[in-house]
Structure 1
């Protein structure tokens, strides 16, 4: 998640990455492929065909800032002889995905999910199988590929709410049909955040302003660099990945 204190994100993203880099150098590992995040690009507005060099001057939240800092730690290890690459995969899904859809399904069981804005915003997803292919490509790529970050996705942007409702259908849950104006949703999220800030222990809010932005904005990646340098060719469709997720989730204790 993206809710929490800066020092916690710094510890979880930057310090952990520093330890990994240090371990690689100590054990004379030849190549490190670092998993980063395209969340670093997010600025609260719609963005299409984002290239790897289009990083905003100011980051939108602590998670993005510390993920980018972690990348810089990885690239800094090149001067000590470590071969490094970073991958930025968007919305990874498939069997084992416990982050994207489970929370939405839980909320929809209570009838609490609403389409934010007009519901036409297109986003990128990544099949976990395609991410695995990208990781292998990065491990065996030639020297021209080193020292760079790579966007990874299925290369097939789709309307976010079409994807959400596909999963709802597969899981025999009601379709999301209610619409909520973006301004109203954002204001409600701001109030929810403020209440949680005042509550002992600062619990994670059900609604966040960032969440409202992510669910209502276009967000697609240009993956041509990965195609060129990593020979990346996404082969597994998003629909296949979603079917795999649904089949897997139905066998989990929470999915029954």
Structure 2
């Protein structure tokens, strides 16, 4: 099976970092694209480029129903993201919305491939040294987002096992690239203000995943009709230390490299206190330090992508140094 001019790709989260790059790649290859979009302004931008846009939320069943006619392939990028807030809010979107999406796109029997974008965050919250897909995911998530992503994966795999969904699951790490409107801007703000501190050892590895490398993996998955229900870790291949990641950004931005850090034991104690106070006060924004942020920035996150290389023929084309330079230039 290969994508062709007869294919119609539905991209959810089409204005986000990953979804926007998927749309751009699909259009560059002459493919028809339909996009589920929440933001009306960004929806108009996509329409001007010839994308068939459906405005609505992932939890809007009517909008999902309008997305479904003629769709042959789905790239599901949309999700409620974050590291704070009631778990049920994340589950409503990331599990309930996903279930509704699967229901509408499989109703006509035309769906050939469903690529579900998950996260390496579904693995246990500990140091990883070459962990691969044989490691069980952890339902004991430390935040609502992680827990909902675990449940979402289980839903997709259940539907795939019973023959109702020709799905592949991709688990990227920390995604960065041109168009990032959240993580990199916040990091730069803290670096410029001199407020950044390394969590744990700065020699620990990050699970960096350049968006274009991830999009390569997505299109490899779209062009397969086997591997149903399978799961693949996706990163840049060459993982970088926190020091290389942050230091390179500083060098490109003309900011002094940070030197100070916080021991993990101390960081966890501070996070516990802050989270307790924040919940007691009913704050809707996460504290500056939380267990979820420690999981993201305070551990060694070395995940093996050998399976993706072997079975998907995934070969990360862009190294971190080239990728972060392109990202910074576009920011």
Q: Which residue of 1 aligns with 2:260?
A: 178
* Counterpart among 183, 186, 189 of residue 106 in structure 1: 189
- Contact kept? 1:141, 1:229, Cα under 8 Å: no
Q: Which residue of 2 aligns with 1:241?
A: 323
Structure 2 residue ranges without an equivalent (≥5):
1-81
Alignment of 1:53-132 (within 5 A): 53-61=134-142, 62-78=144-160, 79-132=162-215
CA distance in 1, matches of 2:185, 2:273: 24
Alignment of 1:1-256 (within 5 A): 1-28=82-109, 29-43=111-125, 45-61=126-142, 62-78=144-160, 79-143=162-226, 145-249=227-331
Q: CA RMSD in A?
A: 1.7
Q: Which residue of 1 aligns with 2:76?
A: none
| Larger RCO, structure (CA 8 Å, separation 6 or more) | 1
* SS of residue matched to 1:106: helix
Instruction: Point out the more displaced range, 134-143 or 21-30.
Output: 21-30
CA distance in 2, matches of 1:58, 1:139: 28
* SS of residue matched to 2:247: helix
- Contact kept? 2:177, 2:323, Cα under 8 Å: yes
Q: Deviations over 1:2-58 (max 9, x none)?
A: 211110110121011112211221243121011111100132x21111111212454
CA distance in 2, matches of 1:100, 1:42: 22
* SS of residue matched to 2:148: helix
Q: Deviations over 1:136-184 (max 9, x none)?
A: 11011242x2210110011112112221121122122231111222222
Instruction: Point out the more displaced range, 100-109 or 160-169.
Output: 100-109
CA distance in 1, matches of 2:224, 2:114: 12
- Contact kept? 1:40, 1:59, Cα under 8 Å: no
CA distance in 2, matches of 1:56, 1:133: 24
Instruction: Point out the more displaced range, 215-224 or 172-181.
Output: 172-181
Change in CA separation of 1:191 and 1:22 when aligned onto 2, cut-off 3 Å: same
- Contact kept? 2:206, 2:302, Cα under 8 Å: yes
* SS of residue matched to 2:167: strand
Change in CA separation of 1:10 and 1:104 when aligned onto 2, cut-off 3 Å: same
Q: Which residue of 2 aligns with 1:253?
A: none
Instruction: Point out the more displaced range, 125-134 or 49-58.
Output: 49-58
- Contact kept? 1:41, 1:55, Cα under 8 Å: yes
- What is the number of equivalent residue pairs in this alignment? 247
- Superposition TM-score, scaled by structure 1 size: 0.90
